Every structure is written in structure tokens, then in C-alpha cells.
Amino acid sequence: MMSASAITEIKLDVQGDFPILQHPIRDQRLVYLDNGATTQKPECVIQAEREFYERENANIHRGVHWLSQHATDLYDRSRECTRAFLHAARTEEIVFTSGTTDSINLVAATWGRANIKAGDEILLTMLEHHSNIVPWQLLADEKGAVIKVVPMLEDGTLDQAEYKRLLSPRTKFVGLVHVSNALGTVNPVKEMIAEAHAVGAVVLLDGAQAVAHQVVDVQDLDCDFYAFSGHKIYGPTGVGVLYGKYALLDAMPPWKGGGDMIHTVSFSGSTFAPAPQRFEAGTPNIAGVVVLAEALKYVQKLGFDAITEHEQALLAYATEQLQALTGIKIVGTAPHKAGVVSFLVDGIHPHDLGTILDMDGVAIRAGHHCAMPLMTELGIPGTARASFGVYNTFADVDALVASLKKAQKLFGVGDE
């Protein structure tokens, strides 16, 4: 994170691209600081979905009419766009899912069931979202495997020495969040992947909070699986991506059965399509997949250098402003953070705080952020969380701070 003294300006001026920001909430200007939960959509994404349903809608694959063939072409182009975005080696390594949670469950149900055995160890971290915990718990219960957890240090970084100690030849799988949704910690995933591979483990990265904020090169990272959701990168809800090394995907059994994932079907047995079609049973979210490409192109057009500089300036400014307030504690102070600031306000429950800020049009997230083990470790029920996107401004931070002061005055806490 840049120092507060380095704060000079923000690099992006794109609020006009997002129609929802032009509409007031409770007669107030919308200050949207809940990007970690979902991002708003630019006009180009909204228009792309409208155009698909108005002019291009048809079911894909096998249709001989023009609309079906055209929709199939659009779907396939989105797969290639996603491959390029992640810097994957081949399009067959891109599986479309309904989101990060669906992607992780797919890996647990296919690769996990085929490869995890009794006594094997699954290594997770204290920073994981529930979606990268619960599927592995279900698998461990089914297979008799053991889950071990990498602890974190006081500032919200993972204990790397303990991570190395926990890795062993018994470690078959490592589930690792790229960027913590609850604290904003950016994990040193490339190094951690290499250390896991050294003991023969397979690594999945939860990239839901990373892809909108930094370049992701899966070949450079050398991760085995990477999962993310479209709605966290200015795209539609209900669509996600699973990247997997092709050798792994090719060896994995199917998860869901039905149309489009088969080669042949008879009552005596069925044969299955190669990856990625093997994992895309039934009619997919065609419009969502097609529109996802528009979201990825939008982010790439802005450029990740500009996005990173913009969001780091916001993070530094927000951190400085919050630290200047009495009775506010920032939770998670790792030296390498994405645009997330979680905090507590003395004397005000996070849920009450979120409700009060909403009256001023300020949208934050309050609660455990689907990271209950982390909150338990911290000894708190949850936090208030402001998370930044490309359309946020210093004025948004100022609005957050002003509303926080009003909340403190209402509860009789903080500065008089």
C-alpha cells in the first residue's frame, strides 16, 4: 500500500460509465463501497446483455440455424477472451461455471473424489472464504482426510514459517485465497504454490477478489486451478470461471450429467466429451458468458497499472482518514493489501453501523464476510468493510468518514 504522503490524485474518472451511480439512494448520492461483494456494471456490459437477448439469443452447439451458430461463436469467443485474460496456455483449460463457489465445488467433487484418500492432508488457510472451506470439509468427511489450517500473524498476513512446516508428503491439496475478501491481504501465492508443488501437492487459488485488481497470469503463477466470478469484475451475476491445467482437467471425471457433456449415450453406458465441455452439462448461462467477455475487455481497456494505482491511492487515503478518527480500529494491516479496509467502531455493532450509513447513501458490507473462522480467531463477530472499485473517488471516502462521524455522534461515542 502506498504511504499517505504519496496520495496526490486518483487516476480513473469513470463514474459516468456506470448508470446506477447516476441514481440517488434515499435522496442521497450513491456512495457504493461494497465492491468486494459485487461490482456495479458499466453501460457497455449492460448494453451487451440487452443486445444479446434482442438480436442474438439461441441455444448453443448442434443447432444448424444461423442464430444458434452465431450464439455458439460468441460463446466460444468468450472462452478465448477469458483464456487470454488469464494468460492460460489453451482454451480447453477454461471451464464456465456459475461462479467461484461452483468452480471450487467442481474441483472438490471431481479431482478431489478421484485423488484424495483416507489419511491425506488438505491444507487451507485462516483467510479462506467459506466457499474454499466447506467443500473440502465435505470431501474430508467422505474420504477420511485431514484438514490442516495455516494460521495468520497479527497484521493479517499468513504465517509463512508455519505454512512451510505444515507442508509434507501427506499434503495432497492446498486451497489458497489470492486476496482476502475480509482483510484485503494479498498473499504471496507464487512462492506458496512453488513450495506446495515441492511436496507434490495440487494448488487451487480462489481469485474472486484478485482478478478485478491486478494482472493474473496462471502460467507464471503455476497454479493448478484458478477460480473467479464474473460479478466481481464488473460482469454479470451467475457466471464464473474455473481454470485448470489441461492434464488435470483431462483426467477428471464429470461432475454433473446431462446434455452437452457427453459423447455418446446408451442405456448400457455413456462416454463423455473432452474438457471443458465435460464439465458444462446442460444449457449454460449463455448470455452471462458472452457478456463476461465485455467486462474483461472493459477492465483491460482501463489497464491494470491505472487500476492498481487508483485503488491503492483510495486505500491509502481511506486508511489515513479512518486512523485520524477516535474510536475506530482498522482490522488487517498487512503491508500488501488490495483496496479493502475493514474496521470496527467502538460502541457500534457493524450491522447497526451499516444501517446508519445507508441512510446517507453510503453502501458498505457489515458482518463476518463469509469468513467465520477468521472472525472467531480475531475474537470479533464481524467488521464493517469498505471495498473499492474503479469508479470510487476521494469524495466517496470523505462521504464515508462524514457518515461515520454522524453515527458516532448518534451513539454518543468518538470525538465530541
Report whether pLDDT(322) > 80.
yes
235-254 CB burial, b ≥16 within 10 A, e <16: bbebbbbbbbbbebbeebeb
In Å, how far from its chain's centre is CA 70? 30
In Å, how far from its chain's centre is CA 96? 15
What whole-number distance in Å separates Cα of residue 290 and Cα of residue 23?
27
- pLDDT tens for 109-151 read 999 999 999 999 999 999 999 999 999 999 999 999 999 999 9
- The predicted pLDDT at position 9 comes to 66
Q: Count of alpha carbons within 13 Å of 150, Cβ hemisphere only?
A: 26
For residues 397 and 314, is the Cβ–Cβ distance under 8 A? yes
Question: Whole-number mean pLDDT of the chain?
Answer: 96
Q: State the residue for C-alpha cell 474472486.
A: 208
Confidence grade of residue 3 (pLDDT, cut at 50, 70, 90):
very low
Mean pLDDT of 368-385: 96
- pLDDT tens for 58-77 read 999 988 999 999 999 999 99
Mean pLDDT of 245-271: 95
- The predicted pLDDT at position 63 comes to 85
97 sits in which H/E element: strand 94-97
Report whether pLDDT(387) > 60.
yes
Superfamily of 4-32+303-411 according to CATH: Aspartate Aminotransferase, domain 1 (3.90.1150.10)
For residues 391 and 375, is the Cβ–Cβ distance under 8 A? no
- The predicted pLDDT at position 176 comes to 98
- The predicted pLDDT at position 7 comes to 53
Report whether pLDDT(26) > 60.
yes
Report whether pLDDT(415) > 80.
no
Report whether pLDDT(235) > 60.
yes
| Helical residues (DSSP H) of 199-303, grouped into ranges | 218-221, 246-251, 286-302
The DSSP secondary-structure symbol of 369 reads T
**Nine-digit cell string for 147:** 484438514
Confidence grade of residue 17 (pLDDT, cut at 50, 70, 90):
very high
Q: Is the dihedral of CA 79, 83, 86, 90 positive or negative?
A: positive
Helix axes 304-323, 286-302, angle to 10 degrees: 80
Report whether pLDDT(34) > 90.
yes
Which residues of the chain form CATH 3.40.640.10? 46-300
- The predicted pLDDT at position 353 comes to 96
Confidence grade of residue 1 (pLDDT, cut at 50, 70, 90):
very low
Helix axes 66-86, 286-302, angle to 10 degrees: 40
Q: What are phi and psi of 225, to 5 degrees?
A: -140, 150
Confidence grade of residue 4 (pLDDT, cut at 50, 70, 90):
very low
Report whether pLDDT(227) > 70.
yes
- The predicted pLDDT at position 8 comes to 56
| DSSP-based helix, strand, coil % in the chain, nearest 5 | 45, 20, 40
Calculate the alpha carbon distances from 66 to 54, 73, 79, 118 in Å. Answer: 15, 10, 20, 52
Which residues of the chain form CATH 3.90.1150.10? 4-32+303-411
- pLDDT tens for 280-301 read 999 999 999 999 999 999 999 9
166 or 5, which is more confident?
166
Confidence grade of residue 5 (pLDDT, cut at 50, 70, 90):
very low
DSSP for 182-196, please give it: TT-BB--HHHHHHHH
Q: Is 205 helix (H, G, I), strand (E, B) or coil?
A: strand
Q: State the residue for C-alpha cell 446431462.
A: 258
Going through 142-268 in order, the beta strands assigned E by DSSP cover 146-150, 171-177, 202-206, 225-229, 240-244, 262-266
CATH of 46-300, one of 2.60.40.10, 3.40.640.10, 3.40.190.10, 3.30.460.20: 3.40.640.10
Report whether pLDDT(12) > 70.
yes
370 is catalytic: yes
What whole-number distance in Å separates Cα of residue 120 and Cα of residue 142?
12
- The predicted pLDDT at position 342 comes to 98
Instruction: Return the percentage of the chain with pLDDT > 90, whole number.
Output: 95
Cis peptide leading into 276, omega within 30 of 0?
yes
Q: What are phi and psi of 242, to 5 degrees?
A: -120, 115
In Å, how far from its chain's centre is CA 229? 6
413 or 358, which is more confident?
358
38-54 CB burial, b ≥16 within 10 A, e <16: bbbbbeebbebbeebee
**Nine-digit cell string for 354:** 451499516
- The predicted pLDDT at position 117 comes to 98
Contacts of 374 (CB under 8 A, 6+ apart): 126, 127, 128, 152, 182, 183, 368
Catalytic-role residue among 44, 81, 223, 370:
370
Mean pLDDT of 91-96: 98
Mean pLDDT of 209-236: 98
- The predicted pLDDT at position 11 comes to 76
What whole-number distance in Å separates Cα of residue 326 and Cα of residue 346?
9
For residues 259 and 282, is the Cβ–Cβ distance under 8 A? yes
Query: Residue 117's CB: how many other CB atoms inside 10 A?
Result: 10
Report whether pLDDT(413) > 80.
yes
Q: What are phi and psi of 364, to 5 degrees?
A: -125, 180
What whole-number distance in Å separates Cα of residue 230 and Cα of residue 41?
11
